[in-house]
Amino acid sequence: MNKRIAGVAVLLVVGGFAVWRWYQTSPDLTLVPANPAQLVAINKQPAVPVQASSEPAAAPNPTKGKTLEIAKAYYASKDLRAFAEMAKKRPQEGGGTYAFDAINICLFIRKVADVKATDYTDAGLFAKKQAALNDLRYRCHGFTSRELSLEGMNEFVGGIVESGDLLERVRNDFFQLVQESRFTATQRLKLMNGLAELQDPATIALYATEASRYYNEKGEQSYWVNGETYADNGRRELVEDAWRWASCQLGVDCKANSLKLLTLCVYDGKCFDSMDLYYRDKYAKQPGVFEQLIILRDIIVTAFQTRDFSRLIRP
């Protein structure tokens, strides 16, 4: 086994979303964490005041749009092993990274126990969760036990690194950027422009949140959006939800029976046919907060559509 790839994949849950992070045991392998909410070691110093809107856009990215076909195939796949076999042969389009995502979601599903009717007072919820679990198991049926073992994962990750997978390299660049000791407004704008050029919906979902995250002198985190600071736990969660919902409009498939909604149903017991219904339910007792969530979501989506990030980066 290649010593460069020794490590372990660990399941994390952020806001009800099941995601994975690869923890390496060898220092010469760099893979990207699955969610920026876990990047707790990044910038805990105030940003240097720089007018974000005055910075020029980043130079055109030669990777622009190259991952979109692979991303769409991943979201639409009914056979994730067949998808992974196809995708890993296309490293120039980031296929290895999406193949790794397919393996991770199937590793998670393999560990999920059968749904028991006796655990539910709501027969409808039981039926939806059982159907979602069956659907995901069907999509994952082709993987062997060895492919979903630590040894198999090690070998696969090594192949991603050695192939020069586009997304592994680009995400590594973004990861290094957000870990700068002083994540300035200029660096935040660079990150946003790089994400906009790449156009990869999953990468936007993973990293864009970091550009609006700030830390005070006590190391306490907050978000800054449209001139307002979101500091307490509830308000931070609102911004994180806005980013997740925005990712659906930026290319992540969030339709009924999508991988995202099926996983939410199985892991979190929240079984809905759209992200709109998911968040309406979550904020059902806070209609005013739900309206604020929609406003934040639209600010994020508009920023990427217009390439104007001044409402997401504190001057």
At 140-151, the pLDDT tens digits run 999 999 999 888
Check residues 45 and 315 and name the one with the higher pLDDT.
315
Q: What are phi and psi of 92, to 5 degrees?
A: -70, -10
Banded pLDDT at 117 (limits 50, 70, 90): confident
Region 250-274: what's the mean pLDDT? 93
- Contact between 270 and 16 under an 8 Å Cβ cutoff? The reply is yes
**What pLDDT, on a 0 to 100 scale, did the predictor assign at position 10?**
39
Residue labelled with tokens 């760099």? 30
Region 311-315: what's the mean pLDDT? 94
Residue 275 has pLDDT above 90, yes or no: yes
pTM to 2 decimal places: 0.78
**What pLDDT, on a 0 to 100 scale, did the predictor assign at position 62?**
55
Residue 59 has pLDDT above 80, yes or no: no
**What pLDDT, on a 0 to 100 scale, did the predictor assign at position 43?**
33
Indicate the average pLDDT of the chain.
Answer: 81
At 8-52, the pLDDT tens digits run 343 333 333 333 344 333 322 223 334 323 333 333 333 333 343
**What pLDDT, on a 0 to 100 scale, did the predictor assign at position 13?**
34
- Contact between 46 and 216 under an 8 Å Cβ cutoff? The reply is yes
